[in-house]
Structure 1
Amino acid sequence: MRRFFLFLLLAGFGYSSSVVARQPVVIFGDANYPPYSYLNAAGEPSGIYVDLLRPIFDQMTDYAIEIQLVPWERALAALEAGEVLAIFPPYFYPASVRPYIGHYSVPLYQEEVVLFCRRNLFTSHPRRWPADFFGRVIGINQGFAFGGEAFWLAVQRGEVQLSEAETNWQNLLMLMDQRIDCYMNDRLSIEQELARMVEDGEWQGSLPQEIRVVERHTGHLAFTLAHWHGYHYYHDFIDLFDRLYLERDAE
């Protein structure tokens, strides 16, 4: 009987040590990007990307992974400084755009970036991007980099005025108040926030109209380049995540 209890005691210690041995990992995500990633009414991480990532993270049993949602600029700054292993869901860009990203995961989800503008802003449908928008004020979320090289060159030259706000809601309010002419973001993200504002009585006047598709992109889990060697599990985590995600897609 004593041997039996000793076996249970040792087994218990073994179980505890295996739990303690799990590698803690913090992953940052965008807190203001509904329906893709946002904090719900209870203050918990929610959204399409959170729902995609959690089942994969649950399978990575050697890791204790915590998702924290923060303002996007904070997430980017943390990744650049090497304060976190990875963030989601940046689009894939050349290294010159975000040189502090060391690796992009396999694609998680495809998004479609569109331009919503004030109704009746144009007398004819604009077809050239960004030339037909010279002299206009374009809203975008802080830290977002889409629009293309020609767009950012036009901003640099002063041919297009850029207005940055932290959230979809703030940008749509400025669009409603005619402080910006157009707002550029993912279609689903704009449509959901706009529908909420209409339902809650926040939107006044004519609804904006979608003018054009600007880009199509896939969101990713992006890994830091700074101090990556300090994450001794860096390559193992990347390889395991990519493999499990691809297996999920194959099912």
Structure 2
Amino acid sequence: MGALAWRPAAATPVGLAIYADDNYPPYSYVENGQLTGVYTLIVQKALAHLPEYQVQLVPVPWKRGVLMLEKGEAFALYPPYFRPEERRNVKYSEPILTEQLAVFCNADVVAKRSLKNWPADYFGLRIGLNAGFLIGGKPFDDAVKAGQLRVDAAQGSRANLLKLMLGRTDCYVNDRLSIQWEVERIKKAGLMTPSSLALSETAELSAEQGYLGYTTLEPAQYPYRDDFIAKFNTVIREMKRNGEIKELVARFLLK
């Protein structure tokens, strides 16, 4: 006979820790000493459906968290992308959320151009990027090298978006949700003026999915691993099916 599957004792919730990126707004980050973010809200909601587990969510610097996961020192971490070749000791949950890289342009540019093809329709424009990030893809990089596009880098989303609203740049490339979240924060901070230009999304670029990653090491230390993974995946699939995840994202953007 094969080994019996592990089952939690009915009256005793199993205690475990899940680690989370402490500096990845708006997805997973610490604010006023509390772990928050879109992934955090989704994971918390999912865990509410698993009363047999008592889970502590622990913020951690990302590189340290990944190292802990790969060494078996952490049971789980969110939100890694799917990188099976790079992280051989990591197993992935059901995808939790899709992060979409997008281009947003201000109203002056949108009124004057047809922006259907990236990056050809954007030649001659000033494109904002977060300093240190090269995320427009190879055709974009080639166009920059050829002088067909100008890159204007600034520190962070807020600085880039304020420049875009003032017409100091024409478009901005970043994660869609990060842009939408920061626009709401700019509004609430009273930083928009009557002269601020409206913004529109004009192109979708690459996309990545975020997961809950599990270590495949130390099976004796985590005997509940397969049971937890199966149940967590079932809950996430149901939350996607019934619209809970979309609702959580929308609510987070407006809070």
Q: TM-score per shorter chain, which class? A: 0.5 to 0.7
RMSD: 4.3
Q: In structure 2, do the counterparts of structure 1 residues 229 and 192 end up closer, same or farther at CA, with 3 Å as the change threshold?
A: closer
Where do 5+ consecutive residues of structure 1 fail to align?
A: 1-14
**SS of equivalent residue, structure 1 residue 106:** coil
2:79–2:213 CA contact under 8 A, matched in 1: no
TM-score, normalising length: structure 1: 0.61
Higher CA-based Rg: 1
Q: In structure 2, do the counterparts of structure 1 residues 187 and 207 end up closer, same or farther at CA, with 3 Å as the change threshold?
A: farther
Q: Which residue of 1 aligns with 2:64?
A: 78
Q: In structure 2, do the counterparts of structure 1 residues 128 and 168 end up closer, same or farther at CA, with 3 Å as the change threshold?
A: same
1:28–1:88 CA contact under 8 A, matched in 2: yes
Structure 1 residue 229, shift from structure 2 partner: 1.6
Question: Which among 170, 181, 184 is matched to residue 173 of structure 2?
Answer: 184
Where do 5+ consecutive residues of structure 2 fail to align?
A: 1-8, 243-255
Q: In structure 2, do the counterparts of structure 1 residues 100 and 244 end up closer, same or farther at CA, with 3 Å as the change threshold?
A: same
Structure 1 residue 202, shift from structure 2 partner: 1.6
Task: Tell me if 1:198 matches 2:187.
Answer: yes
1:38–1:69 CA contact under 8 A, matched in 2: yes
Question: Which among 35, 49, 53 is matched to residue 43 of structure 2?
Answer: 53
TM-score, normalising length: structure 2: 0.61
Number of aligned positions between the proteins:
221
Tell me how far apart the structure 2 counterparts of residues 247 and 224 of structure 1 sit (CA, whole Å): 20
Q: What is the CA deviation profile of residues 140-175 of structure 1, one whole-angstrom value per residue up to 9, with x for unaligned ones?
A: 4877x865554466678886647364x532432443
**SS of equivalent residue, structure 1 residue 229:** coil
Structure 1 residue 54, shift from structure 2 partner: 1.0
Structure 1 residue 28, shift from structure 2 partner: 0.9
**SS of equivalent residue, structure 1 residue 120:** helix
Structure 1 residue 196, shift from structure 2 partner: 3.2
Task: Tell me if 1:100 matches 2:92.
Answer: no
2:116–2:203 CA contact under 8 A, matched in 1: no
Q: In structure 2, do the counterparts of structure 1 residues 245 and 180 end up closer, same or farther at CA, with 3 Å as the change threshold?
A: same
1:132-211 matches, cutoff 5 A: 132-134=121-123, 136-140=126-130, 147-148=136-137, 150-151=139-140, 161=151, 163=153, 165=155, 167-176=156-165, 180-204=169-193, 205-211=195-201
Task: Tell me if 1:124 matches 2:113.
Answer: yes
Tell me how far apart the structure 2 counterparts of residues 89 and 207 of structure 1 sit (CA, whole Å): 33
Q: Which residue of 2 aligns with 1:28?
A: 20
% identical aligned pairs: 27
**SS of equivalent residue, structure 2 residue 56:** strand
